[in-house]
A and B are shown apart, each in its own frame.
Chain A
Amino acid sequence: DTGVSQNPRHKITKRGQNVTFRCDPISEHNRLYWYRQTLGQGPEFLTYFQNEAQLEKSRLLSDRFSAERPKGSFSTLEIQRTEQGDSAMYLCASSSVAVKGNTIYFGEGSWLTVV
Chain B
Amino acid sequence: DQQVKQNSPSLSVQEGRISILNCDYTNSMFDYFLWYKKYPAEGPTFLISISSIKDKNEDGRFTVFLNKSAKHLSLHIVPSQPGDSAVYFCAAGERGVYGGSQGNLIFGKGTKLSVKP
CB-defined contacts of B44 to chain A, threshold 8 Å: 43, 91, 106
In the complex, 30 of the A-B residue pairs with CB atoms within 8 angstroms, ordered by the A residue number, are A40-B109, A41-B109, A42-B4, A42-B91, A42-B108, A45-B103, A45-B105, A55-B103, A56-B103, A93-B43, A95-B100, A97-B98, A100-B99, A100-B100, A101-B49, A101-B99, A102-B98, A102-B101, A103-B34, A103-B101, A104-B46, A104-B101, A106-B36, A106-B43, A106-B44, A106-B45, A107-B43, A108-B42, A109-B42, A109-B43
Distance of A95 Cα from B102 Cα, bound (Å): 10
**How many whole Å from B97's CB to the nearest CB in chain A?**
8
A112 CB-CB contact with B under 8 Å: no
B69 CB-CB contact with A under 8 Å: no
Distance of A103 Cα from B42 Cα, bound (Å): 18
A103 and B98 contact, CB distance less than 8 A: no
**How many whole Å from A1's CB to the nearest CB in chain B?**
13
A102 and B99 contact, CB distance less than 8 A: yes
B103 and A48 contact, CB distance less than 8 A: yes
A42 and B109 contact, CB distance less than 8 A: yes
**How many whole Å from A49's CB to the nearest CB in chain B?**
9
A interface residues, Cβ below 8 angstroms from B? 4, 6, 31, 33, 40-45, 48, 55-56, 58, 91, 93, 95, 97-98, 100-109, 111
Distance of A31 Cα from B107 Cα, bound (Å): 19
B30 CB-CB contact with A under 8 Å: no
CB-defined contacts of B46 to chain A, threshold 8 Å: 103-106
Interface 1/0 per residue, B89-117 and A, CB below 8 Å: 10100001111110111111110000000
CB-defined contacts of B103 to chain A, threshold 8 Å: 31, 33, 45, 48, 55-56, 95, 104
Distance of A36 Cα from B105 Cα, bound (Å): 12
**How many whole Å from B52's CB to the nearest CB in chain A?**
13
Distance of A95 Cα from B34 Cα, bound (Å): 14
A104 and B105 contact, CB distance less than 8 A: yes
